Amino acid sequence: MFKKLLTNIFFLLITSNQFYPLKKACTEIFISSKDTVKYLVVKISLEKDWHIYWINSGDSGMPTEITLELPPGISIQETYWATPKKFESDGLVSYGFENITIILIKLPEYLNSITNNTLVLKINSLICKEVCIPYDTIITFQINDLDIIDDLENYLSINKIHFPKASPNLFLSADTDNEKVILKISNHNFIDKILDIYFYPYISGVFKNLSKQNFYIDNESVKLELPFDPFKTHSPDKVSGILYFKTINSYDEKKIIQESYEISFNINHKQIKE
Amino acid sequence: MKTIFILFFNFIFLTSIFSQQAKIDSKAPDFKLKDSNGNEHSLSDFSGKFVVLEWINYDCPFVKKHYDSGNMQSLQEKYTKRDVIWLAICSSAKGKQGNFSSEEINKRSKEHNAKFTAYLIDEDGKVGKMYGAKTTPHMYIIDDRGILVYAGAIDDIKSTDIKDIEKAKNYVSLALDELLDGKSVTIKSTTPYGCSVKY
């Protein structure tokens, strides 16, 4: 009996992470559909405390690049990224993901024409904890061989992945001086319930990457300050990115709602009215 | 009273140096650091010369890309032969990646056949923060009037792949060639890429 117990414990130890630790990161791909649109679901899982970068990596690191090689004449429609989070270390702020992230690649409507083709997914990225290591992956596959995720919404929910929604009826205007942009956000339903706002720009090298962006309520709008990077590389007229809100639930003040929207706004180069 | 005055003056002086932020087209902030041989260097020692500041961490994959390929060393050699001062600066804090003993620094520099003018140790990160150094590598170029004329990436391909070096546009070469030809720097700032500086 004792010998059997020892054997079982030994077997358990051998098969546990203690003896076979997880790879730092691994990628799995699936097929799913939402409404009538088919997606390649790219799931990147990371070992505890490791993170991978968003398309704008922030102060350091390297933006993650993902490409899907399709047969000639066929191109990817669009790639969708989840809302990133901030990683701060010694005053430097980066944007990325930890634990799990999912990237959706919208597939062509005429999917049947490529189901028998061999496709190649390439990921070129960097994963970091206290140190960084390259994470480059090439996956060769055929669509027909992939597992299907029946309920994509549920799958994303289980994995706690949030994608930005298309912008609701937010009114956005942005003024600038040489130091910063003030983004004015109007027509948000719960302006007085806002706990936090953060704008993640798609482009790097324009705004300072901060752990917190200052905002204030002004009449019935919110004004978000976006200071420029001291070494700003260019002065765009139009900026796109993800606007993240953290608000108190109006119906249950103990609950916090987190939501994010894809936005674009033009920058008016005139004197900021404080 | 005199002691208080001296202490106050030193506080203001030191604070003003280390809180100062470098800006393009402005005077580059002066600093004084020891190199890996224990010798002190100030930026002002090199007044009248073109100076390159290269933020370094020998264990960073991006720094390795440029050193294992010989790219960084060939830039260092090419331009130091033309009287450019090339200072590698390490702002890694004690116990963090990239922080080495002087012996280890010199050993690795010799192994890499590094051709910088000096490897400066900025263990408390003051100079790194003064310059807003975020990554390794992070490159800065100061002209012969002491003006910061470039800050950013070494080149335009953000990767750890050595094969990308020959395809990339090298911003440091571009800027130095322009300066040495008596011209203004065309591309003055780019987004740096690399490992975070380990303050």
Cα separation, A9 vs A3, whole angstroms = 10
Range of the domain at B69: 24-196
Distance from CA of A209 to the nearest CA of B (A): 11
> What integer is the mean pLDDT of B53-74?
97
CA dihedral A71, A76, A77, A79 (to 10 degrees): 160
Q: Which range among A89-98, A165-174, A189-198, B12-21 shows the weakest confidence by mean pLDDT? A: B12-21
What percent of chain A has pLDDT above 90?
64
Of the candidates B73, B21, B82, B18, the residue with the CA atom closest to the CA atom of residue B50: B82
In a domain, B131, yes or no: yes
* Interchain pair B23, A92: CB under 8 A: no
The enclosing domain of B56 has a CATH number of 3.40.30.10
By the CB < 8 Å criterion, does B112 face chain A? no
Q: Provide the pLDDT for residue A218.
A: 85
Cα-only R_g, chain B? 17
B47 part of a folded domain: yes
Tell me if B193 and A94 make a contact (CB, 8 A cut-off).
no
Nearest to B192 by CA among A57, A114, A117: A57
CB atoms A60 and B23 under 8 Å: no
* Alpha-carbon gap, residue B127 to B134, rounded angstroms: 12
Residues in B touching A128 (Cβ below 8 Å): 195-196
Does residue B182 belong to any structural domain of this protein? yes
pLDDT in tens, A143-189: 989 999 999 999 999 999 999 998 778 899 999 988 999 999 987 77
DSSP B22: -
The closest CB to that of A231, out of B60, B62, B132, belongs to B132
- Residue B3 in any domain: the answer is no
A91 contacts in chain B (CB < 8 Å): 129, 199
Question: Which of A27-36, A74-83, A235-244, A246-255 has the highest mean predicted lDDT (pLDDT)?
Answer: A235-244
Name the DSSP letter for residue B157. Answer: -
Which are the contacts of A228, defined by CB distance < 8 A and separation ≥ 6? A178, A179, A180, A181, A206, A207, A208
Least confident of A54-68, A122-136, A180-194, A232-246: A180-194
Mean pLDDT calculated for residue range A72-76 = 78
Contact at CB, A233 and B189, closer than 8 angstroms: yes
DSSP state string for chain A? -HHHHHHHHHHHHHHSTTTSPPPSEEEEEEEEEETTEEEEEEEEEE-TT-EEEEEEEETSB---EEEEE-STT-----EEE---EEEEETTEEEEEEESEEEEEEEPPS-GGGTTTS-EEEEEEEEEESSSEEEEEEEEEE-GGGS-EES-HHHHHHHTT--PPEEP-S-EEEEEE-SSEEEEEEE--TTGGGEEEEEEEESSSSSB---SS--EEEETTEEEEEEEBPTT-----SEEEEEEEEEEE-SS-TT-EEEEEEEEEEEEE-S----
Q: Which residue has the tokens 């634990």?
A: A99
Q: Which residue of B has its CA nearest to A204?
A: B191
Q: Which amino acid is at B83?
A: D
Residue B11 lies in a domain: no
Most confident of A126-135, A173-182, B41-50: B41-50
Domain count, chain B: 1
- Is B16 among the domain residues? no
Q: CA of B99, closest CA in chain A: separation in Å?
A: 13
- The confidence score (pLDDT) of residue A108 equals 83
Within-domain flag for B38: yes
| Interface test with chain A among B134, B162, B190, by most A beta carbons within 10 Å | B134
Q: In the prediction, which pLDDT does A187 show?
A: 73
In a domain, B66, yes or no: yes
- Packing angle of the helix pair B61-68, B71-80 (nearest 10 deg): 60
Per-position b or e across B14-51, b if 16+ CB within 10 A of its CB: eeeeeebebebeeebbebebebbeeeebebeebeeebb
Considering only CB atoms, B196 lies closest to which of A89, A134, A231, namely: A89
Q: What is the mean pLDDT of residues A42-52?
A: 96
Q: Is B65 part of the contact surface with chain A (CB cutoff 8 Å)?
A: no
Determine the 3-state secondary structure of B46 from DSSP: helix
pLDDT over threshold 80, residue A3? no
Residues 6+ apart with CB under 8 A from B65: B71, B159, B160, B161, B162, B165
Do B132 and A130 count as a contact with CB atoms less than 8 A apart? no
CA A233 from centre of chain: 23
Contact A13, A68 (CB under 8 A): no
pLDDT over 60 at B193, yes or no: yes
